[in-house]
């Protein structure tokens, strides 16, 4: 009877392991490539070899084996560590700002460039005398000093 209980206990221990599905490296990589290392600055999680990153990837693998989706895993990491762990913000306001600010900056630069070119076109051309620099007469004291220094 003792063997029966031992076998029953082993069977019950193996049922949760059998319920977990095998996870491939590609599945972990697909989620990790959109996340960033918490230790290394601007290092994608899938490329980082830091101990913390290895633990995060193992955690992602564990979550996938438990049946969690990519969105659930990313939401869990955002909840625990903040928006800085993902490459594209999941918060709608931050997502809007991350695209709107560069677009607005580009529009402002284009408008400034057009106004600058239009202002340059409206300027009067310089006369030949003004564009050639200052004109010195032969009796100019500055010219005499320069010629004296040259000789």
Condensed to tens digits (0 to 9), the pLDDT of residues 63-101 reads 988 888 888 998 898 888 888 888 776 777 877 888 899
Can you give the pTM of this predicted structure? 0.51
- Tell me the pLDDT tens digit for each residue of 44-63: 888 888 888 888 888 999 99
Helix (H) or strand (E) run with residue 107 in it: helix 92-122
Q: Measure the CA–CA gap between 9 and 19, rounded to whole angstroms.
A: 16
| Closest listed residue to residue 40, CA positions, set 53, 27, 55 | 53
Residue 140 corresponds to which tokens in the numbers above? 């100019």
Give yes or no for a contact between 66 and 76, defined as CB atoms under 8 angstroms apart: no
């Amino acid at each position: 009877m003792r063997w029966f209980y031992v076998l029953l206990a082993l069977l019950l221990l193996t049922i949760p392991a059998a319920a977990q599905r095998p996870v491939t490296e590609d599945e972990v990589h697909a989620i990790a490539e959109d996340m960033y290392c918490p230790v290394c600055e601007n290092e994608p999680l899938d490329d980082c070899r830091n101990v913390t990153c290895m633990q995060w990837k193992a955690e992602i693998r564990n979550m996938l084996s438990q049946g969690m989706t990519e969105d659930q895993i990313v939401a869990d990491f955002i909840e625990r560590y903040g928006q800085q762990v993902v490459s594209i913000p999941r918060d709608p306001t931050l997502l809007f700002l991350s695209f709107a600010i560069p677009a607005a900056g580009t529009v402002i630069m284009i408008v400034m460039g057009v106004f600058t070119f239009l202002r340059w076109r409206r300027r009067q051309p310089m006369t030949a005398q003004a564009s050639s620099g200052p004109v010195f007469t032969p009796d100019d004291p500055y010219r005499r000093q320069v010629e004296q220094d040259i000789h």
